[in-house]
Structure 1
Amino acid sequence: MTELDSSPAGLDSTEADARLTRFGPNRLPAPRRKSLLMRFIAQFNNVLIYILIAAAVLKAILGEWVDFAVIMVVAIINSVVGFLQEGKAEQALDGIRKSLSLNARARRDGDWVNVDAQALVPGDVVRIGSGDRVPADMRLLAVTNLGVDEAALTGESLPAAKDVAHVDPEAGLGDRTSMVYSGTIVTSGSGTGVVTATGSATELGRIQTLITEAKGIDTPLTRKLTQFGRQLSLLILGIAAVMLVTGRLIHGFSDNELISAGISFAVAAIPEGLPAVVTITLALGVQQMARRRAIVRKLPAVEALGAVDVICSDKTGTLTQNEMTVRTVCIAQHDYTVSGTGYRPDGHIECDGRPTVPADDPGLAALIATMTLCNDARLTEVDAQWRVVGEPTEGALRALAVKAGFDGADSPRLAELPFESANKFMVTLNAAPGGDRTLHVKGAPDRLLDRSTTQLRGEVTEPLDRAYWEARIDELGDQGLRVLAAARTGAPAGADTVTAADVDDGLEFLGIVGIVDPPRPEAVTAIANCHSAGIGVKMITGDHGGTARAIAREMGITTDPNPKVLTGADLQAMSQPALRDMVDEVDIYARTSPEHKLRIVSALQADGKTVAMTGDGVNDAPALTRADIGVAMGIKGTEATKEVAGIVLADDNFATIERAVEEGRRIYDNIRKSVLFLLPTNGSQSLVILVAILFGFALPLQPVQILWVNTVTSITLSLALVFERAEPGIMARPPRSANRSLVSLPDVSMIALVSVLVAGASVSVFFIAQSAGYPLPVAQTAAVNMLVMGQLAFLLNCRFLTASSLRPAVFRGNPWIWRMAAALIALQLVFVYTPFMHTWFHSAPISPRGWAIALVLATVIFLIVEAAKAVGRRLGY
C-alpha cells in the first residue's frame, strides 16, 4: 500500500482523476491496423500469385483474353480466400480485449461505488466476488474462501485458492496466491484488493505485447514454393537468353520469329497449373481434416503439420480428459483401485483385482460416506455427456459415491463450514439415521492429520499411525495424484452449528483418496504413433512438476523413470543459448509462463525443428503465433488463441493432432506428386521448343498448342493426383528435413529423364509424320498427341513416388485417375477431329496409325521410368 501511496480506505476522486491522467485508461491499446485495401493487396505477395500473374501476362501478350481472364479470376479468388480465412494478429488482440471486465466495485471517497473498469487506477481498492471478472491486476488485502479460475493465464485446470500471505517476488504466475489478475474469473468466495497495474501494464497487457512482437514463421511449403519459384524463374530466363542468342547468331531468325519462339518457350516452361493444383490440394485437405475434427483456418497449415518434428502440447484437456477421477482409495487395512474415468458414474471399486462391495468393509464405507456428505457438487447428464456442477474434485468424489451405491439421503446436512484457503478443509454436520450427529471433514491431508488422534481400521478405532499415512500420501503424490483426506468425529446431541474450533483435535482419520485428470486413451496411442513417425512430443503445462512428470510417464511421452523437468523458475534463470543446448533433451516443462512457452518454441526452431504448438488460454497465444503451426482448442480455447492458430481442434484431443499430421503428410505427398507430374509436362514442351531453335528447324508446336496441352493436363491429369490416398507406412517414416527442397536431386533426375523421353518421342513423331509426307498441321497435331499420351503414361508412374507401379494396385484406390484419363482422351478427340479446334489451334485429323504410334511410345516411356525408379530404390533414393 505504501508503494502505491494508497490505504484500505481507497482513493478520493481528485487523486483518482489525477492518476487516470497519469497512467491512462484501464484498457488494452488498440494496435495500428492496416486498411482493408492494404490487407487485400498483401495477399498478392505470394510466389504462387506471381506465377499466376506472369502466366496471365503472357496469355495477354498472345491475345488469349479468355485464358487471361480465367487466370486473373483464379488469382483474385485465391487472395480473397486468404483475406477472409487467415486470422490476423489484431483479431487475436480483440479477443484479449474482450476478456476485460466492464465495471468494478471500488472504494472512492470512503464509499463503495460502481465505476467503469476503464477508470480504475493503481492504488484503487476494489471488491470482487463469485462470478466477477477481475478488472485489473490486484494485491489481495482480505479474502473469504476466494477461488479464481486462472486457466487462461496459467493453464491450470483447477481454480487457484487465494489468500493474503506474502509470497516470494520471484514466484511463478501460478504460485502468486496473494495476487489476482485482470481477465480471470472468480469462481467462489470474495475478496478485496488494491490495484497494482492497469491497461498494458497488466499480465494480459504483457501477453498482448508478446503477440504483437512475436513474428509468425512461414510454413515449410510456403518457404519451399518461394525457393522453387525463384530457382525456376532464373532457370527459364537463363535458357531463354541462350536460346534467343543462338537463334539470332547461328540460324539468323527474324525478330518476330524470336519473339514468337521466346513466348512459346516461356509459356511452355512456366507451370501455370501448379498454383491451382496446390490450392485445390490444400482445399480438399481442409475438407478431409474437418471430417477428422480439425478445422483449418490458414490453407498452408494443412500441409505444415505433415512436416513437424516436435509437437508442444498443453496437458489439461488435450492429453488428459479434463475430468477429475478418483483412481485410488486408501484406508488403514487396504488400498482400493477405482475403474471408470471422468464424471460418468460407470465403474466399480476393486481390491487386488476383485470387485468390492463397500458395505462389506466398514472402513471403506465410512470414508465414502464422509467424502459424499461433505460435498457440494452434483452430477448431471446432458446430451449423453456427464458434467459436474461445482468443484471438479468434488465431482470426482460424487462419481465415486455413485459407483459405491451411496447417496447419503438418510443423513441430512444440518450445518456446514465452507472450505477456506486458510483452513484447507470443509466440515459438515449431518444427522445419522439413529439420531446421532456427526461432523464430517474433508480436505488437505496434513491439516486433517494435525487434528486427528485416532484412525479407523475396519470397525475398530486405534491410535493414529501418522508415519504410515505420510508415506502413502507421498507415494500417491509421486504418481501425480491430488490427495484428499477424510476424517470424522461425533457432535453433541442437538448441535445445529459448526465452527473450526469443533474440529481442532480429536478427529478419527478415515483415509485418503488419489484424484487425477486421467489421460485420454486415444492420446496415449497417438503419442506412440508420433514417436514411431520420428516426431517428438513435449508437454508444457502450468501444473506442478510432480504432476507433470507422472502424467508424462503415463502418457508415454517419456520412458525414463525419473525424467528431467524444467520449471518456469529454471527457465527464468537460464539464458536462451543454454536453453537451446538442452531443449531437445527435455520433454516436460512445468509452471510455465507465456514468455517461457515462447522461449521454448524459439529454442526448438533455432535447433532446426519444425514446431507445432497447442494451446487454449490467452497465455498460449504468443507461442502459437511464433510456432510453425499453431493448434488451438475449439471447446475450451479462448478467442485469442483461435484467432492466431492455423488449426482449431473441434474435440480438443491430441489424437486429432496425430491424425492431422498423417493427413498433412498425405497432402504434401500429393502436392509433390503433382509437382513431379507437372514439371515434365513443361520440361518436355520447353525442350521441344529449345531443340527446334538450337537446331534451326520448324517449331513442332505452336504457342496455342502448348497452351492446349498445359490446359488439358492441368484440369484433368494433374488434379487426379490430388485424390491419392496415403501410401502405406506414411507414419512409419521420419519427418522430412526442413532443409529438403520441394524438388530434390533424385526428383530433378526423374524430371529430366521424363522430359527428354516425352520431348524425344514428340519430336520423333513430328519427323515421322513429316517424312511420311503429311502437312505441318498434321505433324504438329501428332506431336501434341504424343505429349498428351506421354503425360498419361507418366501419371501412372507418379501414383507411387518410389514404389513400383508395375502391380495391380496402380489400377485401384483412386477412381479419379480413370475419370480424368477419360476426360483427357475426350478432350483430345475434340482437339484432333473438330473443325473449330482446327481453326483455333491449327490442329488437323490424324490417322489410327498415328494414335497407335503414340500409345506404343507412351508404353515405352512408362516402362523406362519404372526401370529408373527400380534403380533409384536400389541406390536408396
Structure 2
Amino acid sequence: MSETATVIHELPGRIRVRVKWIHVRQNEQATVLRALRELPGMVRLELNTLTGNLLILFQQGENRQDHVVKSILSTIEDTLRTTENSHADTSKEMSGGTVTLPFKYAQTAAAHLSVDRGCAERGCGLSTQEAKERLRQYGENRLPLLRDTPWWKHVLKQGQDGMTLLLLGLAGLSFVSKRTAEGSALLIVIMVNSVVTVLQQHRSGRDKRTLAAMTDGDAIVFRDGRREHLAKELLVPGDLVWLEEGIQVPADGELIESHHLACDESLLTGEPLAIEKNAAALSAKTTVREQNPDGVTSASGVVMGSFVVRGNGVMLVTQTGSETVMGKIAKGLVEPTLVETPLQRSVSRFSRAVVTTIGLSTALLILVGILRKERVGPLLLSALSIGASAIPEGLPVLIGIALTAGVRRMQARKALVQKPSALETLGRSTVICSDKTGTLTKNEMTVRVLFDGTHVRVLPDLDVLSTSDMDQPLRASGHVVNLLTKAVLCSNAEWVEAERDGKTEWTLRGDATEGALLAAARRAGIALREIRAKYARLDERPFESERQRMSVICQGFSGSELIVKGAIEPIFACCAFYQSEDGLCELDDANRARILAIANDFSREAYRVICLAYRPLPHDVPARAVDENEENLIFLGLVGMEDPPREHVEQGIRACRDAGIRVLMMTGDHPETARATARKIGLSTSQAERVLVGSELTEYSDEALQRVCLDVSIFARVTPQDKLRIVAALKATGHVVVMTGDGVNDALAIRHADVGIAMGQSGTALAREASSITLVDDDFNAIIRAVDEGRGILGNIRRALGYLLSGNLGEILFSLLSVLFGLPLPFVPIQILLINLLTDAAPTLTLLVRPKRHAGMLRVREADLNDRNFLTQLVVRALSIGFSTFLLYRSLLLRVAPRIAQSASLTTLVLVQWFQVESWHHDGAAPQRILPRQRSMQGVLAVSFAALIGALYIPPLAALTGLQPLSLGIFFAAVTTAYTAQLLHGGIMQCLRHLKISSMPSLQH
C-alpha cells in the first residue's frame, strides 16, 4: 500500500483516494493531476483541496481494476517523490530516524526540530495530544515580562531628587538648630511623598501589563488536519502556522510555503522596510541556528513580533517564548525609560524660569535679613523653606496622574491608550487623516450591481451578512455565473457555517471584499467548495497596495487560466479583449470609453468597483508564472459593492469641524467612489469637490504638496507611501496630525503621524502595533471623544499649574514685602510646610481630574503656558494674594502678638488659595459661587479646613506648628481679607480687559 495515497472508497470504474498533505501543497496539485491524466482510460479527476480527497473515474479496458488502482497509486507516489527531490534532499539522518515531510521544504526545517514521522503522516500539523506534550516540554509561548524596578530602587531614586535633598538639608538644619519638632515634621513629609510616588509608579506598571494582556491575539494554526484559530501562547515547536498580510508573526520559524511574502522586521533592524521572504531559500545543508546568527533572519526565516506586509505562506515554528530572538532580547530588558511628553517639557522650561525667579527672590530675602542683623540660622531656615515651598516640585507627578486618569476614562469609552502622551497631543490636534474603508465605513461589503461585459444588472437589496440572505437565490445569466466563478477562484476568503442556538450563522474568514463576492456567487447557485476543488492553484500574487490587484493561475480539466481581480485602472491597462454575448471582442477605444463610463457611474454611487479579467494559458504553464502573463487579458466585467458609512460618522465629522479640526479622507478606491462617500458622510457638500489621485502626487514636490494639502480633503488611489507623504506634508506646515486606519497600508502613516489610531476589531496587528491608541469598537466618534479628553487634560493641567504658581508666588511676595518693610519673618519652616500641605496637592489634583464644564466640545485655541492671558492672571493673582496678606499682617502686628499675626496670615493664605480654585476652573471668569459644586472638591476642602482648625485650636498640634488660636474677630478678618483678595483679582482683570491690555480671549474647555 502506498504511504502517501490511500484508497478510501472503491467501485467499478470509480475510486476515491486520500492523498496526504495534497490539500496544502498547492504547487504539487497540478503536477499530480497532469500525471494522472496521462494514464490510459482516465475519464474524470476531481480534487477536494479542503480534504485532500481525489475522485477518479476511469475505464478499465482490458486491465483488471486492481491493476489500474495500483498504477494510479504508484503514479501519485512517484510524482510527489520526484517533486520533493527537485527542491530538497529527501532524507536526512537524525537521532530518531529519517523524516519525510510532504511539504516542499518542510523536511529540512523539521530535521532541526526532530519532528517524527507520525507528525508528518497525519496530514496537516501536530495532533492535539502531541501539541499538549510539547507544551509541557517547552512551556507557553510568552516573552519574559519586563523586570519591574524594585520598590526600594524607587525609594532611592526619590532620595536623588533635588527637592527631596533640599528638604533633607532643611531637616538637618532644624535638628542642628535644636528645632526637633520641625525636623521631624520635615522627615515625615519626605516619607509620605516617597510612599505616594512609589505607589503611583507601581500602579502605572500594573496598567501597562494589563494593556499588554488586552492586545494579545490568536494565530491561525494547522492542527489535526484542520485550520483553526489558537491563542498565540499555546504554540509549540513543530506547529504549522498560516501567515498572511497584516498578521504579526507569533513565534520564530522557517517558511515551508510562501507566495510573494515580505515582512517588516523593523523591531530588529530599526528600518521599516519590506524584506522579501522565500521558502525556497531554506537550505538543507545548514541548521536554523546557522541561518540566524545573532538574531539576523535568513531569507526563509521569520521572527516573532515581525509583521507580514505582503503575500502569504506557511511557517514551521522552530522556537517559542524565551528561546525566540525577541525572547532573548526581552531577558535583558529592564523597566523602560520614560519619555517626557511635549507638555512636560514645556512645564519643565516654565518651571525653570519660575525657579530662577524664586531663587533670586530668596537670595534677596536672605540679603535683606542679613543687613537687618537677623539671626542667620533661623533666617536661612525660613528663607530656604519659603523658596522651596514656591517650587511646584510635585507637578510632573500630578501631570502623570492626570494623563493616567484620562487613559482610564478613555478605556471606559472603548479606547485603549498605549501611550498616555498621545492624549495630550490629541488635545493639540488640528488635522485628522482617516482611511475610508473600515474606518469611516463599516467594511461590510455587499454586491449591488454587476456589469458582465454587455448588461448592467442590479442585485436585490439584501444584507450579505444576515443569516438568511446567504441562501436567497439570485437569477444569474451564464455571463454573470462565469464572472462570479472567476471571482471565487481568485479569492482566499471563506464563509464558515455554524449552528448556534438552533440557527444557522455565517462567519467570514478573510477579506470583506472577497466575502461579498463569495456571497453573491453562492446566491447565484455556485457551489464554492466544489468549484475550488475542480481547479488547482499553480501560482498566486496576493493583493498589494502598489499593484492594486490580485492574480492567480488555476488549472482545471480544460486547461489553465490566469485570473486577475482588483482596481480597474491597472487591470484595464493590461486588457486587449472583452467578453460579450457575441463572444470574444477586441477592446477598442470606443468600448474602453463605454466600460470606463460604466465604472464611473458605479463610483459616483459610492460603490467600490472591482474589475475582473482572465487569460487562457497553455496546459503545461510553469509555476510562478503570474508576472510573465499579465498582458493581453480578457476583460470579464465589473462588480459594484456598497460599503455603508459607520453610524454617527457624519455627526463626528461635524463635531470636528465645529472644533476647528480638518478631516481628510485617504483611500485606495476610485476617485468618484471617494467623492460620493465624502458627500454621504458630510465631508464634502459639492459634487465638484476636488479629489487628488495618488498618481498625481508624484508631480508635486514636497513643498508644493504642502500647499495642496491645505486645500484638498479627499485623496483617492493612494498607496502607503502616498499616505506617508501627505502626513509628512501636513506636519511640515505646522499641523498636529492624527492618522487613523485599520490596514497594513495605513501602518506606515499611522506610525509617523503625531498620533496614530488603529481600529481594534477590523484592524490588522501591524496597524495596532504602529498606533498610540486602539479603538476597541471601531467607532470613529471615539476619536472625537479622545480629542475632547486631550483638550480637557490640557486645560486642567494649565489651570492646575496656574493655581499652584499663583499661590506659591503670592506666598514668596508676602514674605519678601515683610522683610523689605522691616517686619519679622512671617513663617517658620513647619508653618510653610503646613500651608503647602493644605493648599497644594489635594486641590491641585482635583483640578487635574475634574471633568469639563461644557457638554459639547467647543472651538478652542492651543493652551500655551506663555499665553498673555495666562501670565496676566498668574501675576495679578500673585499680587492680590501677596499684598492683601501683607496688609493684614502689618495691621495685626500693631495690635496683637506676632504669633497671632502669623496665625492669621497663615489662615488668610490658605483661605485665599481655596477661594481661587473655582475661579481657575472658570478660567478667570467670576464664578457664581466661591466654593465649588463638585463633591470631591467639597470633601477635600472640608478635610483641609478641619486640619486648619485643628492646627489652630488643638493644643498639641498648635504647639507643633507654632500657631496661636485666633479670636472670632481675627478669624473673621482673615476670611474677609481672603475674599477681598479674590475680589481684587476680579476687579483688576475686568479693568485690564476693558483697557484691552489682555488681548487673548479666555480659554474655554
Structure-2 change in CA distance of 1:303 and 1:236 (3 Å): same
Shift of 1:523: 3.2
User: Which of the residues 175, 194, 198 maps onto 1:72?
Assistant: 194
Q: Does 1:536 align with 2:626?
A: no
Structure-2 change in CA distance of 1:722 and 1:765 (3 Å): same
Match of 1:228 in 2: 350
Q: Does 1:243 align with 2:370?
A: no
Question: Secondary structure of the equivalent of 1:227?
Answer: helix
Match of 1:268 in 2: 389
Shift of 1:336: 4.5
User: Which of the residues 869, 892, 909 maps onto 1:746?
Assistant: 869
1:318–1:654 CA contact under 8 A, matched in 2: yes
Shift of 1:99: 11
2:398–2:845 CA contact under 8 A, matched in 1: yes
Shift of 1:714: 2.4
2:385–2:829 CA contact under 8 A, matched in 1: yes
Structure-2 change in CA distance of 1:222 and 1:719 (3 Å): closer
User: Which of the residues 757, 764, 786 maps onto 2:887?
Assistant: 764
User: Which of the residues 689, 692, 713 maps onto 1:564?
Assistant: 692
Query: 1:324-382, CA deviations, whole angstroms, 9 ceiling, x for partnerless residues?
Result: 2334456988774876777346999xxxxxxxx998xx679996998599858436588
- Separation in structure 1 between the aligned mates of residue 668 and residue 435 of structure 2, nearest angstrom: 9
Match of 2:446 in 1: 325
> What is the percent sequence identity of the aligned residues?
26
- Separation in structure 2 between the aligned mates of residue 133 and residue 674 of structure 1, nearest angstrom: 45
Shift of 1:664: 0.8
Match of 1:454 in 2: 581
1:766–1:782 CA contact under 8 A, matched in 2: yes
Q: Does 1:258 align with 2:375?
A: no
Shift of 1:612: 2.9
User: Which of the residues 719, 722, 727 maps onto 2:845?
Assistant: 719
Structure-2 change in CA distance of 1:812 and 1:417 (3 Å): farther
Question: Secondary structure of the equivalent of 1:481?
Answer: strand
- Separation in structure 1 between the aligned mates of residue 957 and residue 414 of structure 2, nearest angstrom: 47
1:549–1:565 CA contact under 8 A, matched in 2: no
Shift of 1:312: 3.4
Q: Does 1:782 align with 2:907?
A: no
Match of 1:299 in 2: 420
Match of 1:834 in 2: 954
Question: Secondary structure of the equivalent of 1:609?
Answer: coil
Match of 2:815 in 1: 689
Query: 1:273-323, CA deviations, whole angstroms, 9 ceiling, x for partnerless residues?
Result: 433432332222122111111222333333221111223334443333233
- Separation in structure 2 between the aligned mates of residue 825 and residue 653 of structure 1, nearest angstrom: 45
- Separation in structure 2 between the aligned mates of residue 834 and residue 700 of structure 1, nearest angstrom: 21
Query: 1:418-472, CA deviations, whole angstroms, 9 ceiling, x for partnerless residues?
Result: 788698799999xxxxxxxxxxx9978979995644299xxxxxxx999755521
Instruction: Say which is worse superposed, 36-45 or 528-537, in terms of deviation.
Output: 36-45
- Separation in structure 1 between the aligned mates of residue 199 and residue 820 of structure 2, nearest angstrom: 40
- Separation in structure 2 between the aligned mates of residue 702 and residue 134 of structure 1, nearest angstrom: 63
For residue 764 of structure 1, what is the amino acid of its counterpart? L
Residue pairs, 1:170-181, within 5 angstroms: none
Match of 1:851 in 2: 971
Shift of 1:762: 2.2
Structure 2 stretches lacking a partner, 5+ long: 1-84, 92-104, 110-144, 175-182, 223-235, 267-277, 279-298, 316-325, 327-336, 542-550, 558-562, 584-589, 615-634, 1001-1005
Residue pairs, 1:337-356, within 5 angstroms: 343-344=465-466
Question: Secondary structure of the equivalent of 2:640?
Answer: strand
- Separation in structure 2 between the aligned mates of residue 59 and residue 318 of structure 1, nearest angstrom: 59
Match of 2:495 in 1: 378
Structure-2 change in CA distance of 1:482 and 1:623 (3 Å): closer
1:278–1:671 CA contact under 8 A, matched in 2: yes
- Separation in structure 2 between the aligned mates of residue 873 and residue 347 of structure 1, nearest angstrom: 66
For residue 747 of structure 1, what is the amino acid of its counterpart? F
For residue 284 of structure 1, what is the amino acid of its counterpart? A
Structure-2 change in CA distance of 1:638 and 1:229 (3 Å): farther
2:445–2:641 CA contact under 8 A, matched in 1: yes
Q: Does 1:814 align with 2:928?
A: no
User: Which of the residues 628, 636, 645 maps onto 2:754?
Assistant: 628
Query: 1:701-752, CA deviations, whole angstroms, 9 ceiling, x for partnerless residues?
Result: 2221111111112243223323433233863314517xx3x25222222222
Structure-2 change in CA distance of 1:42 and 1:128 (3 Å): same
Shift of 1:260: 2.1
2:426–2:738 CA contact under 8 A, matched in 1: yes
- Separation in structure 2 between the aligned mates of residue 135 and residue 73 of structure 1, nearest angstrom: 40
User: Which of the residues 594, 603, 609 maps onto 1:482?
Assistant: 609
Structure-2 change in CA distance of 1:231 and 1:599 (3 Å): farther
Structure-2 change in CA distance of 1:553 and 1:307 (3 Å): same
Which has the bigger relative contact order, CA under 8 A and spacing at least 6?
Answer: 1
- Separation in structure 1 between the aligned mates of residue 358 and residue 922 of structure 2, nearest angstrom: 28
1:55–1:272 CA contact under 8 A, matched in 2: no
Structure-2 change in CA distance of 1:677 and 1:605 (3 Å): same
Query: 1:504-541, CA deviations, whole angstroms, 9 ceiling, x for partnerless residues?
Result: xxxxx998541144432333432332232222334456
Question: Secondary structure of the equivalent of 2:433?
Answer: strand
Match of 1:434 in 2: none
- Separation in structure 2 between the aligned mates of residue 593 and residue 373 of structure 1, nearest angstrom: 28
1:566–1:586 CA contact under 8 A, matched in 2: no
Match of 2:430 in 1: 309
For residue 738 of structure 2, what is the amino acid of its counterpart? A
Structure-2 change in CA distance of 1:753 and 1:474 (3 Å): closer
Shift of 1:682: 0.6
Shift of 1:392: 2.8
- Separation in structure 2 between the aligned mates of residue 217 and residue 555 of structure 1, nearest angstrom: 38
Match of 2:404 in 1: 283
Q: Larger Cα Rg: Structure 1 or Structure 2?
A: 2
1:218–1:628 CA contact under 8 A, matched in 2: no
Structure-2 change in CA distance of 1:393 and 1:850 (3 Å): same
For residue 835 of structure 1, what is the amino acid of its counterpart? P
Question: Secondary structure of the equivalent of 1:515?
Answer: strand
For residue 855 of structure 1, what is the amino acid of its counterpart? V
Question: Secondary structure of the equivalent of 1:521?
Answer: coil
- Separation in structure 2 between the aligned mates of residue 650 and residue 868 of structure 1, nearest angstrom: 49
User: Which of the residues 686, 691, 698 maps onto 2:824?
Assistant: 698
Residue pairs, 1:377-456, within 5 angstroms: 377-378=494-495, 387-389=507-509, 392-397=512-517, 408=525, 416-417=534-535, 450=577, 452-454=579-581
Residue pairs, 1:603-642, within 5 angstroms: 603-614=729-740, 626-635=752-761, 637=763, 642=768
Question: Secondary structure of the equivalent of 2:831?
Answer: helix
Structure 1 stretches lacking a partner, 5+ long: 1-6, 21-32, 103-115, 119-126, 154-161, 163-178, 193-203, 205-214, 349-356, 430-440, 457-463, 488-508
1:717–1:795 CA contact under 8 A, matched in 2: yes
Query: 1:761-806, CA deviations, whole angstroms, 9 ceiling, x for partnerless residues?
Result: 323333343333x32222211111111211122112122115x444
Query: 1:158-211, CA deviations, whole angstroms, 9 ceiling, x for partnerless residues?
Result: xxxx9xxxxxxxxxxxxxxxx99976769999899xxxxxxxxxxx9xxxxxxx
For residue 841 of structure 1, what is the amino acid of its counterpart? T
Residue pairs, 1:214-225, within 5 angstroms: 219-225=341-347
Structure-2 change in CA distance of 1:443 and 1:611 (3 Å): closer
- Separation in structure 2 between the aligned mates of residue 513 and residue 653 of structure 1, nearest angstrom: 28
